[in-house]
Amino acid sequence: MFKERLVKLRTDKGLSQYDLAKALGLSRGQLSNYELGTRQPDNATLIKIANFFDVTTDYLLGRTNIPNATSDLKKNKIPEEFIKLLKDQNGSLPYSAVTRVLKIFSPTDKSKTKILPVLGRIRAGLPILADEHVEDILEVPDYIKGDYILRVQGDSMVGVGILDGDLAVCKETQVAFSGQIVVALHDTATGFSEATLKYFFDNGKGPVLRAANPDYKDIDITEGYRIAGVMVGLIREGSPSYQTYRDFLAVSAYEEWTQVIETAIGYGITPQQLSVTLDMQRQMIERIMVDKRKRS
């Protein structure tokens, strides 16, 4: 991550390796090794690079996608003395501190917006809104009553128009009602939790997580899953592809079968079992028709 960010910062400023190396007091060979990833800078050099580009060392190392929270506070005319008081022992600004301060000092023209954290990798055992999980922040309208934002991965919810890459605005809670779209966490052996966005249903046979895509099976929520929020809004950064519309047409053409499919799923009937039953019924009907023709 460091080498990619160093190259991007340098090229965004239109600097050559020679120019940047000279500005930092390094040799061109040293800088080239950093950008190739064959060597890592020491702490003093890392801080020098961060100061030159006005970003944090955490941003350079890929620990956050926020280049410089201090700069954001300065843009909002937060006093320098106040910013110093907020920094932790490593000199970094926690997300929780930034949002609290911006809420207090936000100008009046931003009174109808608020800042929400965009969560990245979720470390198991920590609260969902822990600072360690925040990879970015996003300003959203104040009427969206959410606490955090989760980036959607995969196509498990395409049936309700939630696409890969969308931003799901979620409200923090550990309790959900049947039929709500929830954020469910599942701890892994890596020490991180996988977050999935699914419907929550409890039909008396036990709570399950259900995708809005027939290619995915229901998940028994008692198998190591826990609810960490409910979805309250959706943000899309791009437009849906034409294939999304074609998929909708394919599904809507069989809308009259929806109730039949849901009934079969509710009874625990598999597609194979239903197919066998239909074959048996068809054979019985054919025999009845043959008997009628014989009697007539």
36 and 93 fall within a common domain: yes
Number of domains present in the structure of the chain:
3
Select which of 92, 114, 156, 193 is catalytic. Answer: 156
**Structure tokens belonging to residue 15:** 């600097």
**Known catalytic residue at 114:** no
The confidence score (pLDDT) of residue 279 equals 86
The confidence score (pLDDT) of residue 93 equals 61
**Residue 156 belongs to a domain:** yes
CATH (domain of 16): 1.10.260.40
The confidence score (pLDDT) of residue 104 equals 57
**Structure tokens belonging to residue 272:** 């194979």
The confidence score (pLDDT) of residue 183 equals 95
168 and 214 fall within a common domain: yes
Q: Which of 220, 242, 264 is the last residue of a domain?
A: 242
Cα of 295 vs its chain's centroid, Å: 67
Select which of 92, 114, 193, 198 is catalytic. Answer: 198
Q: Pairing relation of β-strands 113-119 and 148-151? A: parallel
The confidence score (pLDDT) of residue 68 equals 65
The confidence score (pLDDT) of residue 161 equals 85
pTM here is 0.54
Give me the residues of the chain with pLDDT under 50, please: 108-110
CB atoms within 10 A of CB 146: 20
Q: What is the dihedral of CA 4, 10, 15, 19, to 10 degrees?
A: -90
Distance (Å, rounded) from C-alpha 61 to C-alpha 77?
A: 28
CB 211 within 8 A of CB 198: yes
Domain carrying residue 296:
254-296
The confidence score (pLDDT) of residue 52 equals 85
Distances (CA, A) of 225 to 174, 206, 249: 11, 13, 33
The confidence score (pLDDT) of residue 108 equals 47
Distance (Å, rounded) from C-alpha 70 to C-alpha 188?
A: 34
